[in-house]
Every structure is written in structure tokens, then in C-alpha cells.
Amino acid sequence: MPSRYEATVDPEAANSAHGFMAQMVGSNKRVLELGAAGGHMTRALTAQGCTVTAVEYDAEAAIDLKAETSEVIVGDLNDLTLLDDLRPDYDVVLCGDVLEHLLDPQAVLDRVTRLLAPGGRVVVSLPHVGHVDVRLALLQGRWDYNSWGLLDATHIRFFTLKTIQEMVARAGLVIIDLRRVRAPAFETELRVDRASVPTAVLDAALQDPEAETYQFVFTAVKDDGNYQTTRLIESQVEVQSEVDRWRVRAESATAKLTAANNLAAAAEQERHRVQDEIDDIRGKWEGLWSQSEALRHDRDRLQAEHDQMRGEWDGLVSERDHLAQELDALRATKTLRYTNLARSAYTRVRRPGS
């Protein structure tokens, strides 16, 4: 029967505890795997060339586990004598989401640390009880266990980053690689309703930088003199590398600043040129405006003269029409008609002797 913890392991997966653990264990290592369940991690590590000794409490799950590796120990890790027959020659002890299920995880971590070969390391994955969804659910009076996840019903111990660091230090270990599986607020199996949480409460909960950390996955090694010396040398190399990186960045920044200054100078020259063009155009515009004003004045003067001449013309036309009317009236009088007859007769009398 497949274990309820069965999962697909992709060593290249991002934001995955299984992927992180597979990367931290590495290839071709002798591995002691605690809480191997049905063997999903065992299978992935074997594919990476590792030799795995798997420890599992569930006898039924161990049946499937034996198909992945011949080295299987079935028993309860709460019994510290379970591992007494093992020799201290493991390159890696893998505790993948198992310590939280134990009565005394500190004692077990202390015990397996003594099984490491020189230069060996412990790889651990633990759920984070300080996740924002746990906090918000607890504020609402809920602490509901599930069949898996942050509040798995079989969890006995709960961890924050601080308690993890304290447990590791007590075991004589030091964390050299710490990674986080992130889960945004309201997106875990706890199903906290966003509408039920005031914004001010959510903002306060998210102030903790670890608020959305779902799992911590880390590698720890023995905190001995050899490690400290090696780490000091590595730190010196890292510092020098960092100095070199900053020098390159500074040189790049200087080059960019020089280029920016050159662009600024070119832009300033262009600004002066454009300003000269603007001043020239403004001068021409002002000249044209003056001409336009002069033409406007001439137009107004000519319009006034035109209006005056139109008035005089209209007066002459009116006077002409008045005289024509008077002439027509004069022609219509009797005196003018009789006078016209006498003038006509006189003209005929004089014509023969002229």
C-alpha cells in the first residue's frame, strides 16, 4: 500500500522541499535516510547514484521501501538503540520531515550526528509552525489537525527558525545552507478565509519576514575546528570574490557615468542649438506680427475711406434721383407743354431762311 506521504521528487523543482533535499544530498553518497515512508526520496537518491540505508516505522510502507533499496531498517526512531549497529561512515544523514514526529527530536539528531563520516553532513526538512496561516487560524480560535501539512495529526513537536537553530547548535552542528519553501497567505491546506481577516491584522502578521515560509530545508555540518578553518578560508575567498564583483560593478558604473555625462553634454549642446532656433523663430514671428499689425491698420484705414466714399456715392445717387423726379414733374406742367409748342413753331418759321 502506498504511503500517505508518497510524492513525486523532481531534483530540479523550484520551491520544493524534496527538490532542495535531493540537491543538498548530491550524487554518489552513502546516505542514512530517516523516515523513508514508501521510498519516494530513496528512489530519487538512488537515481543520483547514492547508496541508501532507509529507516521506517511503518512495516507496510517498508514493504514498498525494500523495492527501492536492500538496506532497510524497520523500527521506531524514538528507540535510540535502533541505530546502535550502524557504523559512523555516512556521508549524509537525511531527516526529511521526520523530526517533528518524534518524542525527542534533539536526542535523535544528537544520535545520528555521531554516525557521520568525516566531512559528512545532515540534511533536514521541517515544517514552520509560524506560517501566517497558522497564526491567523489561531487568532480565530482554530488549531485544526489534518492528515498532512503544517498541522499533521501525527506531529508531536513544532518548530520556528529560532528553535531549529537552537536544536542544531545543541547537536554540535552549524547550518551552512538554509532554504525556504514559500506558501503565500491563504494558500495552504489550512484554508483561512481572506474575507474573515481584517487588513490591519494581516499586515501585522506579515511583518515577520518568515511569515510565508512553509518549510525550512537546511544542510548542517559538525561545528569543529576543521570546519571553522575551512569556513574561514572559504569566507576569505568569498570576500575577495565579493570585492572583485564590486570592483567590476564600480568600473561598470564609472563607465556608465562617463557615458551619461557625455550624453548630458551632448544634450546641453543640442539644447543651446534648439534654443537658438527658437529665438530665431521668435524674432521672425515678432517681425511678421508687426507687419500683420501694420497691414491691419491699413486695412482699417482703407475700410474707413471706402465707407466714406460709399456714403458720398449714396448721397449723389439720392440727389440724382431727386433731380430726375423734379424734371419729370416739370415736364408734366401745362406751361412747359405750351412753351414747347411755341418753340416748335418758331423753329419751323426760321428754318426756310436760315
Q: Residue 108 corresponds to which cell in the numbers above?
A: 535523535
* C-alpha 2, offset from chain centre: 40
Q: How confident is the model at residue 237 (pLDDT cuts 50, 70, 90)?
A: low
Mind listing the pLDDT tens digit for each residue in 196-230? 999 999 999 999 999 999 999 999 999 976 666 55
Tell me the residue type at 85: D
Q: For residues 29 and 66, is the Cβ–Cβ distance under 8 A?
A: no
- Domain ranges for the chain: 17-223, 246-341
CATH dotted code for 17-223: 3.40.50.150
**Counts for the chain of helices (H) and strands (E), in that order:** 9, 7
126: left (phi over 0), alpha (psi -120 to 50) or beta: beta
Model pLDDT, residue 94: 98
Model pLDDT, residue 107: 97
Radius of gyration for the alpha carbons in the chain, expressed in angstroms and rounded: 53
141: left (phi over 0), alpha (psi -120 to 50) or beta: left
CA atoms within 13 A on the CB side of 352: 3
Report d(CA 24, CA 20) in Å as an integer: 6
Q: Residue 260 corresponds to which cell in the numbers above?
A: 551619461
Across the range 278-283, mean pLDDT stands at 90
Mind listing the pLDDT tens digit for each residue in 100-112? 999 999 999 999 9
| Phi, psi of 133, rounded to the nearest 5 degrees | -65, -35
112 CB-near residues (< 8 Å, 6+ apart): 32, 34, 83, 93, 95, 122
Q: For residues 49 and 28, is the Cβ–Cβ distance under 8 A?
A: yes
| Helix (H), strand (E), coil (C) string for 64-117 | HHCCCCCEEEECCCCCHHHHCCCCCCEEEEEEECCHHHCCCHHHHHHHHHCCEE
CA-to-CA separations, 123 to 18, 47, 168, 238, 251, in angstroms, rounded: 11, 18, 11, 23, 40
How long, in residues, is the chain? 354
Model pLDDT, residue 340: 67
Of the candidates 16, 30, 227, 4, the one whose C-alpha atom is nearest the C-alpha of residue 125 is 16
Mind listing the pLDDT tens digit for each residue in 307-318? 899 988 988 988
Report d(CA 168, CA 178) in Å as an integer: 12
In the predicted structure, residue 144 carries a pLDDT above the cut 90: yes
In the predicted structure, residue 321 carries a pLDDT above the cut 80: yes
Residue keyed to cell 545532515: 122
Tell me the residue type at 105: P
> Helices 105-113 & 161-170, crossing angle to 10 degrees?
50
